[in-house]
Structure 1
Amino acid sequence: MYQPIIALAFYFGLFTALPSTALAGDEPASQTWSQWRGPNRDGSVTSLKLPDSLEEDRLKQIWRVALSPSYSGPIVSKDRVFVTETVDQKTEVVRALDRKTGKELWKQSWSGSLSVPFFAKANGDWIRATPTLDGDRLFVAGIRDVLVCLDANSGKELWRIDFVKQTKANPPAFGFASSPLVVGDAVFVQAGGGFCKVDQQTGKIVWRILDDGGGMSGSAFSSPFYTTLNGVPQIIVQTRTTLAGVDPEQGTVYWKKEIPAFRGMNILTPAVIDDFIFTSSYGGGSFLFTTAKNESGWNLNQKWTSKTQAYMSSPNIIDGHLYLHLRNQRFTCLDLETGVVRWTTTPFGKYWSTVTDGQKILALDQKGDLLLIRANPEKFDLIDRRKVADDSWAHIAVSGNEIFIRDLNHLTAYRWNDAASNNGPTP
């Protein structure tokens, strides 16, 4: 299966201020994990420090809940955790759990069965995309190309869109993999064989662009990201074949660039650094583009390309260096200015989800190992390593001084206590 791994703008030197996307109401960003790759949608935590050790006396398990399979990551608000699962390969379930205890607060479900192609069967027929929380509304992407809006307090269904029925697109062969993006009063998704803007209050499709028809050749994996390039607000969208900048109001495509990939496996969500865009594809390579706008329109120029190929994992960019888990299961560091590889490790698992505080990287390996790494362009600097699960494709979540890990059949909450972290007490 092609987990959406995506969505991000990053650090270039010092932390860069990012446009606000979907945050959980007015809750402090350090106490929430409201969407794919966190508060800033970039795999970063800017107001807390990661733990110094993963030892059991420093990072303690506080609860564990057994669940049916899912690849979507947990969403964390101040007082609860939202998690998805597919029960008996036919019913999609969303649960709200008490953040302190793991006790179930409410449950919602609907029919959601889809059989993925044979070469993806090893990764199962269950829900893929990570939900998004915006205030008291939770947006959940079901595998059969449906988007469901739930009341985050009660679990009540507010509206539902069946994109296959409404757009007449082919059903997505690999399921709805792209995570929803909230900007203002709109929800943006790669669904219905294209890129769609949805009114988050009514559930009506406002517009649909970048038509790919869905099915085997369509069904984009990458999640959209909201940013500003050359002073112009836009959403960066990567389809199976194309990188594009889109006007979030009218749906105008400002610019497009073809991205080569084997069988359209553009899975990673592009990274935005100042007016530069980084992306990497399976079978295509890695690319850094510069963007410029003048009276005649937009121009994209390739600053560098590299033979390194990402698969499903999205990178972290820290102090001018890019840290990326690759198709060949190795972890690498590239110089962001030149694309030169600084170092590459021996293989790990098939997928990593990562979070950085700008100095350290916390990585969850698909094999279930949790790794703590110092961001060091001179060498792979592993601080600590701990086995926490057996099969972990869902994205890790970090909130306050707590870590939430969704493996294939469980959700586990951990809490660390570092005197130097200054993260404040967990609510």
Structure 2
Amino acid sequence: MMKQNLLLTTCLILLLVPKNTPLVGADPVKSSWTQWRGPSRDGFIQGIKLPESLSENRLKQIWQVKLSPSYSGPIVNADRVFVTETQDKKNEVVRALDRKTGQELWKQDWQGAMTVPFFAKANGDWIRATPAFDGERLYVAGIRDVLVCLDADSGEELWRLDFVKKLGTNLPAFGFASSPLIIGDHVFVQAGGGLCKVDKLSGEIQWRVLDDGGGMFGSAFSSPYYAQLNGEPQLIVQTRTKLAGIDPEDGKILWSQKIPAFRGMNILTPTVYKNSVFTSSYGGGSFLFTTSKNESGWNLAETWTNKTQAYMSSPIIIDGHAYLHLRNQRFTCIDLETGKDRWTTTPFGKYWSCVTDGEKILALDQKGDLLLIRAKPEKFDLIDRRKIADDSWAHIAVSGNEIFVRALKDLSVYRWE
């Protein structure tokens, strides 16, 4: 009888939900877009399948707001969207917007601008990293190597950690580019010339490892990834010169491996496949390293290497294959068991951000094209393509049946039925 009543109640709730209500999964944290590359930090969306078409009849724009430039991806929960921007080349701004309408709920700002080296000027002098959200607080990485904690309800600044002042390190030449990672009561950031574990309530640094000295060839571009290898949790961290596994409790370096790259351009977020780690670098190639552990400690072996070079885009891994946008602006599929390329396309834009439901890949091209792709190792299967922006370097976000696109000068929300 209890099961029958529960089923009846569930059916009544579903009947009462308005047709255009976002289809949010049972777990609000998993269905929200809380950090760089989504809830699991690997580009996978939760609890819903991507649409079969990107046509205007199928995928409709709900609202759009104009903003100043930013490379930060939007953060989304059940009722609001958090975005960043750099105004007038001097102030960093964080806004909370109503998810349904785009109306501003609060705004917080601080002085936070710098000039990047001339050869990176084409990629702008504005805020770069995507914030992280724990359900109550928003952690924002400012370009001048500061981490700011904001109350998500009010926008009140709760604490600020200036790594340059705190640690006496150099201002990073390219700014704070690595996106924060929240695990339990701590925030992990590649800032202050290394990897830091920060108490998320107080802003106090617990430890710092992987000292890279900061400056022109220090300060990571890549963002840390949390995974289990051989049954043990660890942070997978890529600096400008190496790939490493770090114990999240005490900061112990479990293993490390040099990664060749032109001017230290190890940019993408490394990804785990089984007990192996996949990465790819500009000027280096693509690599799969397999970890193992015995009585003497951790071991790392190069499973294979491939001449294919990524740039800024991070991979999507589906059924033993890595789908990756490359330095030469092409999109490729790599068999992770063999290291062989399955196929490679003709060129697109300079950067892609990708999400997947495990069957299809939704990619936002830097030129503003939205692409829907069937994940097939046999061939490149482009289902649909639609122009939705002029220029976009921020990571796309998907929550429920809504897509959030942060173009360089605006934020747009699209919904499919």
The TM-score bracket by the shorter chain reads over 0.9
Q: Would you say 1:344 and 2:344 are equivalent positions? A: yes
Amino acid at match of 1:358: G
Which secondary structure does the structure 1 equivalent of 2:176 belong to? coil
Deviations 1:343-402 (A, max 9, x none): 100000000000010110000000000000001111110000000001000000000000
Contact 1:278 1:288 in 2 (8 A): yes
1:354 corresponding residue in structure 2: 354
1:285 corresponding residue in structure 2: 285
1:90 corresponding residue in structure 2: 90
2:240 corresponding residue in structure 1: 240
Contact 1:27 1:78 in 2 (8 A): no
Deviations 1:168-215 (A, max 9, x none): 111000000000000110000000001000000100011111111111
1:119 corresponding residue in structure 2: 119
The structural deviation recorded for 1:257 is: 0.6
Amino acid at match of 2:304: W
Which secondary structure does the structure 1 equivalent of 2:394 belong to? coil
Structure 2: runs of 5 or more not aligned: 1-25
Which secondary structure does the structure 2 equivalent of 1:358 belong to? coil
Contact 1:30 1:400 in 2 (8 A): no
Which secondary structure does the structure 1 equivalent of 2:196 belong to? strand
Amino acid at match of 1:196: C
For the residues of structure 2 that align with 1:360 and 1:140, how far apart are their CA atoms? 31
The structural deviation recorded for 1:27 is: 4.8
1:399 corresponding residue in structure 2: 399
TM-score by length of 2: 0.93
Deviations 1:389-426 (A, max 9, x none): 01000000000000000000000000001xxxxxxxxx
For the residues of structure 2 that align with 1:243 and 1:35, how far apart are their CA atoms? 21
5 Å-filtered alignment, 1:56-135, equals: 56-135=56-135
State the structure with more CA Rg: 2
2:139 corresponding residue in structure 1: 139
5 Å-filtered alignment, 1:277-356, equals: 277-356=277-356
2:48 corresponding residue in structure 1: 48
2:193 corresponding residue in structure 1: 193
Amino acid at match of 2:333: C
Contact 1:279 1:287 in 2 (8 A): yes
For the residues of structure 2 that align with 1:282 and 1:393, how far apart are their CA atoms? 18
2:372 corresponding residue in structure 1: 372
For the residues of structure 2 that align with 1:395 and 1:298, how far apart are their CA atoms? 34
Deviations 1:266-302 (A, max 9, x none): 0011101121110000000000011000001111001
TM-score by length of 1: 0.91
For the residues of structure 1 that align with 2:264 and 2:65, how far apart are their CA atoms? 36
The structural deviation recorded for 1:47 is: 1.6
1:178 corresponding residue in structure 2: 178
Which secondary structure does the structure 1 equivalent of 2:150 belong to? strand
Deviations 1:111-131 (A, max 9, x none): 001100000111110000000
Which secondary structure does the structure 1 equivalent of 2:120 belong to? helix
For the residues of structure 1 that align with 2:27 and 2:138, how far apart are their CA atoms? 15
For the residues of structure 1 that align with 2:291 and 2:205, how far apart are their CA atoms? 30
1:256 corresponding residue in structure 2: 256
1:167 corresponding residue in structure 2: 167
The structural deviation recorded for 1:46 is: 3.5
For the residues of structure 2 that align with 1:135 and 1:46, how far apart are their CA atoms? 17
Amino acid at match of 1:277: V
Q: Would you say 1:270 and 2:270 are equivalent positions? A: yes
For the residues of structure 1 that align with 2:137 and 2:281, how far apart are their CA atoms? 33
1:10 corresponding residue in structure 2: none
Deviations 1:218-272 (A, max 9, x none): 0100101111111211111110001111111111111111111111000011101
Contact 1:60 1:415 in 2 (8 A): yes
Contact 1:30 1:399 in 2 (8 A): no
For the residues of structure 2 that align with 1:103 and 1:27, how far apart are their CA atoms? 26
CA RMSD of aligned residues (A): 0.9
For the residues of structure 1 that align with 2:226 and 2:337, how far apart are their CA atoms? 23
Q: Give the paired residue count.
A: 392
For the residues of structure 2 that align with 1:213 and 1:41, how far apart are their CA atoms? 27
Q: Which runs of 4+ in 1 moved over 4 A?
A: none
Contact 1:195 1:209 in 2 (8 A): yes
Which secondary structure does the structure 2 equivalent of 1:227 belong to? strand
Amino acid at match of 2:53: S
Amino acid at match of 1:169: T
2:35 corresponding residue in structure 1: 35
Structure 1: runs of 5 or more not aligned: 1-25, 418-427
Q: Which has the higher contact order (CA 8 A, sep 6+)?
A: 1
